[in-house]
Amino acid sequence: MMFKIVYLENCPYSKKALEILKKNKEEVILIKVQQSEKEEYKKKKKIQTFPQVWVRKNIRFRKIGGCDDLIMFLK
């Protein structure tokens, strides 16, 4: 499987989600968002929280959600 994660710098939940994916040796596309870009990114992409995680099983990516959703998905 391949994962895509929108990662907010200095965010403990983003850090935890990325660590989980790396620990599981998953292939990851990382989209880093700086703290200074946070509000603009949220407004542009219509999201409320970080991280945002997607999984690709076949051709398309499917949204999983945040860090807790990732943990449940991998169980």
Domains defined along the chain, listed by start: 2-74 (3.40.30.10)
The reported pTM is 0.88
Query: Residue 73: its pLDDT value, please?
Result: 95
pLDDT at 20 over 90: yes
Tokens of 64: 């999983």
Tokens of 25: 């040796």
**Summary mean pLDDT of the chain:** 94
pLDDT at 1 over 90: no
Distance between CA 31 and CA 33 in Å, rounded? 7
